[in-house]
Amino acid sequence: MDEVRREKLDKLIELGINPYPYKFDRTHLSEDIKANFEAVEGQTVSIAGRLMANRGMGKAAFLDLQDPAGRIQGFLRQNDLGEEGFALYKLLDIGDIVGITGEVFRTKTGEISVKAQTLVLLSKSLRPLPIVKEKEDESGEKTVFDAFADKELRYRQRYVDLVVNPEVREVFVKRSAIIGEIRRQFADNGWLEVETPILQPIYGGASARPFKTHHNALDMPLYLRIANELYLKRLIVGGFDGVFEFAKDFRNEGMSRFHNPEFTQVELYVAYKDYHWMMEMTENLIAAVAQRVNGSTKTVFGEHEVDFKPPWPRLSIYGGIEKYTGKNLANASEAELFAAAKDLHLPVDKTWGPGKIVDEIFGEFVEPKLIQPTFIVDHPVFLSPLAKKHRSEAGLVERFEAVVCGKEIANAFSELNDPLDQRERFEAQVALREQGDDEAQMLDDDYLRALEYGMPPTAGIGIGIDRLTMVLTNQHSIRDVLLFPHMRPEGSDKE
RNA sequence: GGGCCCGUAGCUCAGUCGGUAGAGCAGCGGACUUUUAAUCCGUAGGUCGGAGGUUCGAAUCCUCCCGGGCUCACCA
């Protein structure tokens, strides 16, 4: 804490000023005034926000107030405020929350401003804020001085980041709009938003290592969910024909630019539909979200311009491999697959099965090339223990992944609703687990019991909200679309 | 987990060949009643991430530790 500011706080109290009053009646946001200047010129308005700049001129001053809509200048004169009011100004610091009531006018340099009749302190700030300044040159280009750019500090003290870096705020406004638009569209279709357990006795619905915890009263292990898929499908069994949930999922795996231990997916299950229907729903949905958030189906991501306008191309796993490596592996034997990998200089592990090799070749040589939105369809059975077998292609399932900018943003299938087949797939997973694959799925007897009662044909999808947000906001690290990305604990050398 | 890089004032950064630390902004004092990176004068501010080592002497060289960034692997 800053000692000088503590002293100012004491002086304010001595002057009989409450540094933390209870309310303020704001009449206008900065943008309301700036956008409607002709209408409000000469009117008395009340604005409130954080003091971001203070240009003192002796017995007058110009303050920049920042509110959720932007910034606006306040103009103070001792003549207007009186000596007492001006004494308050003298004790203000950048970062304080203040309210100004006065007349809207334009200064002689043209800046739309509020001429203070009264100035009130709404909250005293006791810590200095990083001061970011910017200058706009004649061409309108902005140069930023002393940017608050240290990524660690920005993530750890996101509240400061949000105050001083307006573009950060924009990302999270868009994230909210993305979620809002998806929710609205789903609800408009009559699908039901539900909540399912985060603490699960048996985790399932994905291949990943979980976080484990313990319930004291029942003295039993519980897992934080890695997906909510199996619970949502139980609800389809129960007769809800469309259910969705925006879910925080938790995976106990490495962190990277694309991975945070907790992340958000929206999962949706719709009865009587298949994955072809789901593809159309998805491309229309994402295009609508992009339109809503960015005003266009086109968006810039790094050096690329991406267009979500439907329809998106459909590309099979083997078709993609053939397109980008020239190798037709659709009916290749295991030996031929190993040979193909060697030919492509892809390091392989002897323990890999054929599905794994195909997956690796695809991930290495095809996925990174898929910049425009593309549906990758029809995956090997062994990679997809919850997906329904392909209606015409042996060894494959009816599954698709939506890929954009070389990254998967959604994963969907025609859901496996044959309880006997599902039991066999689970048992194969258990066998894998016994061989040491700690990402293999667990056998969920209650889920099988639910399927045995009968689940209608169903299409399901999970859409990665974080990654979708990255693409639509041109952010290249997941940490920049999470308000509070996971960090190691702060060391003892830090406050 | 591997590799590369980084850690100096509240913020952004300099600091040469090893000789006990600088700038701008913010702060503090002063001038200024239409400024906008306000300006001008003055001033204060540091366990140089931490610990050890080499050395007459370490922000600087070496070792270890802590924290971070990027990247590769696994994954969504």
Instruction: Point out the nucleotide closest to A73 (alpha carbon to C1′).
Output: B36
CATH 3.30.930.10 for domain A167-313+372-481, yes or no, is yes
Please report, to the nearest 10 degrees, the dihedral formed by the alpha carbons of residues A85, A90, A96, A97 taken in order: 10
Query: Which protein residue lies nearest to nucleotide B26, measured between its Cα and the C1' atom?
Result: A131
Distance A153 CA to B46 C1' (A): 20
Least confident of A323-337, A394-408, A443-457: A323-337
Domain with CATH 2.40.50.140 in chain A: 3-129
What percent of chain A shows pLDDT beyond 70? Answer: 96
Distance A4 CA to B14 C1' (A): 28
Distance A67 CA to B42 C1' (A): 35
- Confidence category of residue A1, pLDDT binned at 50, 70, 90: low
DSSP assignment of A424-461: HHHHHHHHHHHTT-TTSPPP-HHHHHHHHH----EEEE
Task: For chain A, give percent helix, strand, coil, nearest 5.
Answer: 35, 25, 40
- Confidence category of residue A489, pLDDT binned at 50, 70, 90: low
φ, ψ of residue A126 to 5 degrees: the values are -105, 0
Least confident of A16-30, A119-133, A286-300, A417-431: A119-133
Instruction: Point out the nucleotide closest to A146 (alpha carbon to C1′).
Output: B12
Q: Is the pLDDT of residue A98 over 80?
A: yes
Distance A457 CA to B53 C1' (A): 71
Least confident of A231-245, A376-390, A407-421: A376-390
Mean pLDDT calculated for residue range A10-28: 94
Least confident of A23-32, A448-457, A486-495: A486-495
pLDDT for the residue A120: 96
pLDDT tens-place string over residues A142-200: 777 777 877 878 888 888 888 888 888 899 999 999 999 999 999 999 999 999 999 99
Residue A185 three-state SS: helix
pLDDT for the residue A119: 96
Query: Which protein residue lies nearest to nucleotide B70, measured between its Cα and the C1' atom?
Result: A257
For the whole model, what pTM was predicted? 0.91
A337-to-A243, A307, A329, A333 alpha-carbon distances in Å: 40, 34, 7, 6
pLDDT for the residue A490: 60
Mean pLDDT calculated for residue range A220-234: 94
Distance A480 CA to B14 C1' (A): 30
| Average per-residue pLDDT for chain A | 90
DSSP assigned state of A170: H
- The domain made up of A3-129 has a fold known as OB fold (Dihydrolipoamide Acetyltransferase, E2P) (2.40.50)
Q: Checking DSSP bridges between strand A44-56 and strand A70-77, what pairing results, if any?
A: unpaired
- Confidence category of residue A351, pLDDT binned at 50, 70, 90: low
pLDDT for the residue A494: 32
Instruction: Point out the nucleotide closest to A53 (alpha carbon to C1′).
Output: B36
Nucleotides of B under 7 A from a protein CB: 1, 10-13, 24-28, 31-39, 49-50, 66-76
ipTM exceeding 0.90, yes/no: no
Instruction: Point out the nucleotide closest to A64 (alpha carbon to C1′).
Output: B36
Distance A491 CA to B52 C1' (A): 20
pLDDT for the residue A493: 33
Instruction: Point out the nucleotide closest to A129 (alpha carbon to C1′).
Output: B10
pLDDT tens-place string over residues A307-320: 999 999 999 888 88
Distance A466 CA to B75 C1' (A): 15
Distance A259 CA to B49 C1' (A): 28
Query: Which protein residue lies nearest to nucleotide B74, measured between its Cα and the C1' atom?
Result: A254
Domain with CATH 3.30.930.10 in chain A: 167-313+372-481
